[in-house]
Structure 1
């Protein structure tokens, strides 16, 4: 983030993609900084030169997003002091942090199907008179969009809510 703030022209809009929710939340001011105060001071100083603050978008790490994978590679090379063979050896290892792809499990496939069934049902019911709350409707619309991305995996809480709605509205 500091590198792009240093390089990007301050008059142009800037969008930063990051797999670090902490970084995004601190940068946007929605979370209090807990580490690296020296780096956050540099971030604030560089931000003052910008016409508008950067926009941030979270991307799932290790999920095949091209630029995020490249950033991970560069960070890994930095951690190994640019020793490509040591980095490649680590990448080839079975270390979980080296390999963390999203696997389409039967449960995830079932959740995707159930969300689509709920969306179809909700779309057929009049929002003004139906027993479906606006919160439920908004949640299913959001889950429909998120589940279109192969890299998205619902949290345990989201999964439980989907299962509860499936039971409540008797879809399957």
Structure 2
């Protein structure tokens, strides 16, 4: 069954989920952040079928999160290196980790803890306002139509009720 593309939806969450596509892709990225770079190492650490891993790595390369870099000539072999775009995905994985640690860990605690190299303390992700530094919490933040919001949707009453009028049309 072919899935519906969310790539052109006016929603960054939908577009991101379209790119991720499934549960394996974030796990491939997790392994890349843990330092895994070679196909066989990804396969070994994830226990993933070669064809599935090939498709996930190709997609991440096509989307610019990983770069395929040769490391051997004969036979030709490649490793997968995080790009700037890929490294920018790190806070997303950390937010997922923090949520999973809080709500899905067993009584013995989280399976992996994170230590901040600069200060030496264990830590977890906290999403904060980039201006005041306060944590962002549900109910304390509201969505507004941004410059990329489609005009055809901005005119719908249900959308205007949810997001208000565009700031430039008030």
> TM-score, normalising length from structure 1?
0.27
Higher RCO, Cα 8 Å, sep 6+ = 1
Q: Which protein has the bigger strand share? A: 2
